[in-house]
Amino acid sequence: MAYQAPVDQIAFILNRIVSFPELSGTARFAEATAETMTAVLAEAGKLATEVIAPANRAGDLTPARLENGKLRSSPGYAQAFRALAEGGWIGIAADPEHGGMGLPQALNMAVNEMIASGCLALQLNPLLTQGQIEALEHHGSDELKALYLPKLISGEWSGTMNLTEPQAGSDVGALTTKAERAEDGSYRVTGQKIFITWGDSDVTENVCHLVLARLPDGAAGTRGISLFMVPKFIPDEAGRPGIANDLRVVSLEHKLGIHGSPTCVMSFEGAKGWLVGEEHKGMAAMFTMMNAARLGVGVQGVAQAEAALQQAVAYAAERVQMGPIIRHPDVRRMLAESRAEVFAARAICLGCAVALDMARATGSEEWAARATFLTPIAKAHGTDVGIRVADTAVQVHGGMGYIEETGAAQYLRDVRITAIYEGTNGIQAMDLVGRKLADGGAAAMALLDEVLDGAKAAQSAEPELANQLWQAAETLREATQELLEQDMPDRFAGAVPYLAAFARVLGAHYHLRAATGGGSKALARLYITRILPQFAADLVAARAGLADLEALDDAVLLGQMAG
């Protein structure tokens, strides 16, 4: 079955579950009306279904490649990308001053989901460009904004982020890329970066690299890092791509999945660049891009889960073994649990996006705290669900799922990276229990208060489900209080299961809201009955601390079972 954009499901969550209509009541997003939302989702869904999705399989079978130092994209990518750019979809949330639509991130994320379901490897290009647009809007000089933003928003140029080096992955402060000041006010950047997504392109006329590097007087660690705009082609006086900059693609990485996305080893050899933000404060500017990308990556997980699940359901309906296998209890369990997981993860991501929008529109500290708290949950849980559902979809196909010709395995291979890039899910969880609980748990408790209020409101309509959710939220509140009393190493040891527990409770909250608001009561019951209870086991692990992990010496981990 070909992918069909789930426009109605997304619209239901935006309208009924995560309070998107509130946005149109703000001055900033007054144009984000129900009619606008409906039109945008319909057109984006058509694009994803009819134009983007057909390029997906070709990208997997015919990866991007280097020929004599030039990047050659997968078949169909240039045409699909051009349709995406010409429709204005890259700049949907960008500032209208530079050609964007100025619509909410919530709508942007809904569109991004459908595009990523269609072809994740291609969607990575506009996702990173959108992050670069946001970084420049917040931190770029007026000159950089005027030159780069219109081109990035239109899709004529694309953007990348260059952080990782062979010795500096999550420890960004260990980077060795250097920058030197030039007499003309620009800088010269020298060093090598790895894992640079869409580091080169033949679907855009210029590639704009945001590169982290250290000036000679930069302090050690992350405090001494600066951020530079380093284009592939240096713009001429008319703002067109001019002479080639001193940078090159050394090689392309050979990856498990997302074959159509060229992941490059980049070499900067005294390349000309321009400062973004202030000297030695590059991480602040880069984090703007990374935070935008983290929510986007969570959405990618949901996107791949949706596409994989659609194919699995279609296969189960057609495959006959003592009747269609969709009627077999265990197959039905796999499909039903997957659908419930996708709904919950999508609601968490879109709820995070609405919080970001409300914070920007109102200046509310409460909305900002909510968005900040939800971001690592959306990224980690969305991608965990993506992997889980794509893996289950292979299982539904049985032996045919292991055969590449069915395409089921591609979703699992493609989505696997999402739990790793833009900060591994372990890092997201440590961020949640570290920085995000640094407010004494205020943001966490505010969310749990909302869950408890929701359970109370649903008591008369769905007493059994409401009671289960109430108890889960109270237990999670107690566990959060205990976590706040732990030393940070103990918190980190239980961070991943704590994030999972919080996500399950939020998912149940959104399902209960759907059940009392016109959604599927049966799906909510399944989630709360079968999936929510797993949070209790998560909290046991979250509370365990570090001691049992430290008790295992390295010899035991190596399989040397002495003692």
d(CA 291, CA 301): 16
Q: Are the beta carbons of 209 and 173 closer than 8 angstroms?
A: no
Q: Are the beta carbons of 427 and 170 closer than 8 angstroms?
A: yes
Query: What single DSSP character describes residue 435?
Result: G
Q: Are the beta carbons of 466 and 512 closer than 8 angstroms?
A: yes
- Which of helix, strand or coil describes residue 504? helix
Q: Are the beta carbons of 375 and 293 closer than 8 angstroms?
A: no
Q: Are the beta carbons of 31 and 119 closer than 8 angstroms?
A: no
Q: Which amino acid makes up residue 209?
A: H
d(CA 409, CA 38): 33
Q: Are the beta carbons of 128 and 160 closer than 8 angstroms?
A: yes
- Which of helix, strand or coil describes residue 337? helix
Tokens at residue 373, please?
A: 């708290």
Q: How many helices (H) and strands (E) does the chain have?
A: 20, 11
**462: annotated active-site residue:** no
d(CA 72, CA 259): 12
d(CA 220, CA 37): 47
Identify the active-site residue in 113, 422, 482, 550.
Answer: 422
Tokens at residue 363, please?
A: 């200046």
Give the 3-state secondary structure of 38-55.
HHHHHHHHHHHHHHHHHH
Give the residue carrying structure tokens 């009671």: 467
Which residues are registered as beta bridge partners of 211? 162, 228
Q: Are the beta carbons of 202 and 195 closer than 8 angstroms?
A: no
Distances (CA, A) of 557 to 149, 551, 552, 561: 50, 11, 7, 9
Tokens at residue 352, please?
A: 């995070």
Q: Which amino acid makes up residue 200?
A: D
Q: Are the beta carbons of 336 and 520 closer than 8 angstroms?
A: no
- Provide the 10 A C-beta neighbour count for residue 363: 10
Strands (E), 184-254: 187-197, 206-214, 225-231, 233-235, 241-244, 247-252
Give the residue carrying structure tokens 């009627």: 327
Query: Would you please indicate which residues are annotated as catalytic (active-site) residues?
Result: 422
